[in-house]
Amino acid sequence: ASETLYALDGASVPVVFISTFSLAVGTHTLAFHSVDRAGNAETPKTVALTMFGPDVTPPTLALTPADGSTTTATTPVIAAVYSDAGRGADAATLRLSLDGVDVTTQAAVTASSAAFVPAAALAQGAHTVSARVADLAGNYASSTSTFFVDSMSPITTVLINGLPAGSTSLIVISTDSLGFAATDGGSRVLETRYTLDGSTASFVFSSTFSLAGGTYTLAFHSQDRAGNLETLQVEALTVL
């Protein structure tokens, strides 16, 4: 070729290429063609160029379930969501693990997220998710989240004068104090509610109480802080 000419960003006068050059950060249009010594001109070509500056910022990376959260699901969705405002996230670099086991190959991985659902129920208690991903400039981000599985409801017992009642049909006297004791091995008890004789209005248990002579139907249950609700229990009471 006799010479190669090029024009940047729609310039009307092309420049003869002499040596390599650099472009400012941003988008550019480069048009070029060559001419041989016989005067034959190549059909002009045009390419769109995007120039990036130095990228030293890692991608953003968020995990689900969130750190410190509690879920009632025993097979929760384990997810990593990532993005990069620079050159973009490189999903091929993603690594996702649950409780120290790499589950990347079992996850559904896209350009911006990865999701994994355990095949078997997770044990009650704490679990840890870890993830690592890079952007196309090679900057890595990593994150860890510890969450808790609590799918078990509280257990509530009726107390008579502070002692557990061992029957669902009770005979007490009007001076006896009635109450409840609720236990929960996970997120802890939020509240205990009870009703008398099928009332639509329930009471939050806060202190012991007594009943006048007669017969009653006492229904009660507790709820923990994860939202697990105990199955309603019913006691038949005869108060003397």
pLDDT confidence tier of residue 55, bands split at 50, 70 and 90? confident
Q: What is the model's pLDDT at position 25?
A: 86
pLDDT confidence tier of residue 87, bands split at 50, 70 and 90? confident
- Tell me the per-residue pLDDT of 135-175, one tens digit each, with 9 for 90 and over: 999 999 999 999 999 999 999 999 999 999 987 889 999 99
The alpha-carbon radius of gyration of the chain (Å, integer) is 35
Given its phi and psi angles, is residue 179 left (phi above 0), alpha (psi -120 to 50 degrees) or beta? beta
**Residue type at position 226:** A
Give the sign of the dihedral formed by CA 68, CA 95, CA 119, CA 64. positive
- Tell me the per-residue pLDDT of 61-72, one tens digit each, with 9 for 90 and over: 999 999 999 999
Residues 6+ apart with CB under 8 A from 88: 111, 135, 136
CA atoms within 13 A on the CB side of 31: 11
Q: What is the mean pLDDT of residues 91-97?
A: 98
Count of other CB atoms within 10 angstroms of residue 225 = 15
Q: What span, in angstroms and rounded, lies between the C-alpha atoms of 49 and 175?
A: 88
Among the listed residues 176, 192, 171, 191, the one whose alpha carbon sits nearest the alpha carbon of residue 236: 171
Given a cut of 80, whether residue 54 has pLDDT beyond it is yes
Given its phi and psi angles, is residue 104 left (phi above 0), alpha (psi -120 to 50 degrees) or beta? alpha
Given a cut of 80, whether residue 1 has pLDDT beyond it is no
Among the listed residues 140, 34, 50, 148, the one whose alpha carbon sits nearest the alpha carbon of residue 89: 140
Q: What would the two tokens of residue 138 be? A: 């090679």
User: CB–CB of 93/104 below 8 Å?
Assistant: no
Q: What is the dihedral of CA 179, 185, 188, 194, to 10 degrees?
A: -30
SS (H, E, C) the chain: CCEEEEEECCCCCCEECCCCCCCCCEEEEEEEEEECCCCCECCCEEEEEEECCCCCCCCEEEEECCCCCEECCCCCCEEEEEECCCCCEEEEEEEEEECCEECHHHCEECCCEEEECCCCCCCCEEEEEEEEEEECCCCEEEEEEEEEECCCCCEEEEEECCEECCCCEEEECCCCCEEEEEECCCCCEEEEEEEECCCCCCEECCCCECCCCEEEEEEEEEEECCCCECCCEEEEEEEC
CA atoms within 13 A on the CB side of 239: 17
Q: What is the mean pLDDT of residues 197-203?
A: 92
Mean pLDDT of the chain: 95
- Tell me the per-residue pLDDT of 166-178, one tens digit each, with 9 for 90 and over: 878 899 999 999 9
Given a cut of 60, whether residue 59 has pLDDT beyond it is yes
